[in-house]
Structure 1
Amino acid sequence: MPIRVTLNVMMAERNVRSKELAAYVGITDANLSLLKQGKVKGVRFETLERICDYLDCEPGDILRREKRAP
């Protein structure tokens, strides 16, 4: 069951720019871009917590589990 990252949706809803969020979280714009595209194998809980703090959301708001077809 793949995990889908919907960070870009939450950022759009909150009108947050990538540079602002990356600076607050303490990661590069490039790493944030990879995270938004779902091209990472993992994310540190500290990073996830900082993202959620800035966006005022829960981890489940930006990470979704998709069920595979049987």
Structure 2
Amino acid sequence: MSEEDLHTIRVHLDRLLDERGMTLTELSAQVGITVVNLSILKNGRAKAIRFSTLSRICEVLRCQPGDLITHDPAAPR
């Protein structure tokens, strides 16, 4: 793994989708980004996220950015 791939940010998109009974495909349609890009985010492989995308996800899921993304300093680096 490259150093770029090592980080301690965790994405909780799967939990939020489950809590809302929503699929990744439904979220994709409502947010306006591809399922592939949402999947990359969901699986923790995203290197960045645009604020506009984060804002739209939070609007659709009725959540705060901190509900979606957290910092886990104990995660393996």
* TM-score, L = length of structure 1: 0.91
One-letter amino acid matched to 1:43: I
Q: 2:8: which partner in 1?
A: 2
Aligned mates of 2:49, 2:32 — CA distance in 1: 13
Instruction: Give the secondary structure class of the aligned counterpart of 1:64.
Output: strand
Aligned mates of 2:74, 2:14 — CA distance in 1: 22
* TM-score, L = length of structure 2: 0.84
Residue 25 of structure 1, CA deviation: 1.1
Q: Is residue 45 from structure 1 mapped to residue 51 from structure 2 by the alignment?
A: yes
Aligned mates of 2:69, 2:35 — CA distance in 1: 19
Higher relative contact order (CA 8 A, sep 6+): 1
Q: 1:68: which partner in 2?
A: 74
User: Identity of aligned pairs, percent?
Assistant: 48
Instruction: Give the secondary structure class of the aligned counterpart of 1:4.
Output: strand
Residue 2 of structure 1, CA deviation: 1.0
Deviation string 1:34-68 (CA, Å, 9 cap, x unpaired) is 11001010000000010000110000001010013
RMSD value over aligned CA atoms? 1.3
Q: 1:59: which partner in 2?
A: 65
One-letter amino acid matched to 2:61: L
Aligned residues between the structures: 69
